[in-house]
């Protein structure tokens, strides 16, 4: 059978019910198609993370369509074409965006501990360390979204806004602003600061949805433990601060970010009960399951999913705190992330692993 077209693969992400069963079956068993599907998922995630941002009213966006059209038509009339580069800005953005969103995405995904505590919820997870989960892209694309197992409602959407300086960032978030002791190559002057407020989401587990997800994967869901169906979890993190040195380039040469680490609160079900049941389902690749099972049952390790084709991982320490180092296999960027006393800090940029570690260890 021929491979499905790119349009069909993208439709599997946007509207899977509109794809023929034969095509779905082919993709599920074809490593080449799974790889292409993973690339489409990356593009969709990158676009969503770029567009799904709420700016406050004080941020003025000015788009001069006439000027843009004039530049385009003038360039076409003159026969100009963009210079070919080995790494155009859009790919640079994708390379930097993936690890940064994975690392600093705790700000963008979760929040709301105070609300949970006020409602007599109890904490079942608090990130105290970060550990990589490495797998081929074809395996990671098979990972279902959380809403495949229930209803996910974002109760407080991420709001990102610029602030004037470090003092304003501290006053708005209450977080100590990371200060770089010595800037690496390519980063000069003062950074631009942005802040993100607390964000939150409420997840309600649904056995009916879970059974449908497992059936679509060709399996059968085992009976859930008592109390799991209909159980509720509140996920929370933030606020956060991002300092970026870009010098007018489309991608910052250095980013230093800090955010309150993710927490999960439950209305009654222990963390291990939910985790063990999800790991028993035939919806996760075995190599991913094996790595997740090595985590302690106390709910303190935040997994960081990493594609082995693109990134290498290593461990290091920053001020005596265990840290995870990520390095792009093509040498385009590196990042280091760690958790200290409930706060996630990340350093990333178009630098070597040695350089980002030097920046991280020199933070004040």
| pLDDT digit string, tens, across residues 254-308 | 999 999 988 888 887 887 788 889 889 988 888 888 888 877 556 678 888 888 8
**242 close to 257: Cβ distance less than 8 angstroms:** yes
Cis peptide before 239 (omega within 30 of 0): yes
Highest mean pLDDT among 58-62, 96-100, 300-304, 346-350: 346-350
Using H for helix, E for strand and C for coil, what is the string for 60-115?
CCCCCHHHHHHHHHHHHHCCCCCCCCCCCHHHHHHHHHHHHHHHHHHHHHCCCHHH
pTM of the predicted model over 0.85: no
Dist CA 120 CA 109 (whole Å): 22
Q: What is the pLDDT of residue 157?
A: 81
Q: What is the pLDDT of residue 60?
A: 46
Q: Where are the alpha helices (DSSP H) in 135-285?
A: 137-140, 166-173, 207-216, 271-280
| pLDDT digit string, tens, across residues 131-186 | 888 888 888 877 788 889 999 898 888 788 999 999 999 999 999 999 999 999 88
| pLDDT digit string, tens, across residues 198-237 | 888 899 999 999 999 999 888 899 999 999 999 999 888 8
Q: What is the pLDDT of residue 30?
A: 66
Within its chain, how far is the Cα of 85 from the centroid? Answer: 27
Q: Where are the beta strands (DSSP E) in the chain?
A: 122-126, 129-135, 150-156, 160-163, 192-196, 199-205, 232-237, 240-245, 254-260, 263-266, 301-307, 311-318, 321-328, 334-340, 343-349
| pLDDT digit string, tens, across residues 8-52 | 777 776 666 667 777 766 766 565 666 566 666 656 555 544 444
Of the candidates 169, 158, 171, the residue with the CA atom closest to the CA atom of residue 194 = 169
């Amino acid at each position: 059978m021929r491979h499905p077209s790119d349009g069909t693969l993208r439709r599997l992400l946007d509207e899977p019910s509109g794809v023929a069963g034969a095509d779905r079956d082919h993709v599920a068993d074809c490593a080449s198609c799974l790889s292409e599907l993973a690339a489409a998922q990356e593009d969709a995630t990158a676009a969503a993370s770029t567009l799904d941002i709420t700016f406050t009213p004080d941020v003025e966006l000015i788009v001069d369509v006439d000027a843009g059209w004039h530049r385009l038509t003038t360039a076409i009339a003159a026969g100009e074409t963009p210079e070919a580069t080995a790494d155009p800005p859009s790919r640079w953005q994708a390379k930097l965006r993936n690890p940064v969103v994975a690392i600093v995405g705790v700000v963008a995904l979760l929040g709301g501990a105070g609300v949970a505590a006020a409602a007599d919820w109890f904490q079942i997870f608090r990130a105290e360390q970060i550990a990589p989960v490495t797998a081929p892209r074809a395996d990671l694309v098979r990972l279902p979204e959380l809403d495949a197992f229930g209803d996910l409602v974002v109760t407080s959407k991420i709001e990102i806004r610029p602030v004037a300086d470090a003092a304003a960032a501290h006053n708005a978030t209450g977080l100590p602003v990371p200060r770089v002791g010595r800037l690496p190559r390519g980063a000069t002057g003062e950074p631009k600061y942005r802040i993100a407020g607390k964000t939150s989401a409420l997840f309600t587990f649904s056995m009916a949805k879970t059974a449908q997800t497992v059936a679509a994967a060709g399996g059968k869901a085992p009976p859930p433990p008592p109390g799991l169906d209909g159980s509720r979890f509140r996920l929370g993190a933030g606020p956060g601060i991002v300092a970026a040195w870009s010098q007018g380039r489309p991608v910052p040469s250095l980013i230093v970010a800090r955010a309150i680490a993710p927490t999960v609160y439950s209305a009654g079900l222990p963390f291990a009960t939910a985790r063990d049941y999800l790991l028993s389902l035939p919806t996760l690749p075995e190599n991913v399951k094996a790595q997740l099972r090595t985590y302690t049952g106390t709910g303190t390790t935040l997994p960081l999913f990493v594609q082995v084709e693109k990134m290498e991982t290593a461990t290091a320490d920053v001020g005596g705190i265990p840290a995870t180092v990520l390095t792009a296999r093509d040498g385009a960027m590196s990042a280091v992330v760690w958790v200290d006393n409930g706060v996630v800090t990340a350093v990333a940029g178009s630098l070597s692993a040695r350089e980002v570690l030097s920046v991280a260890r020199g933070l004040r």
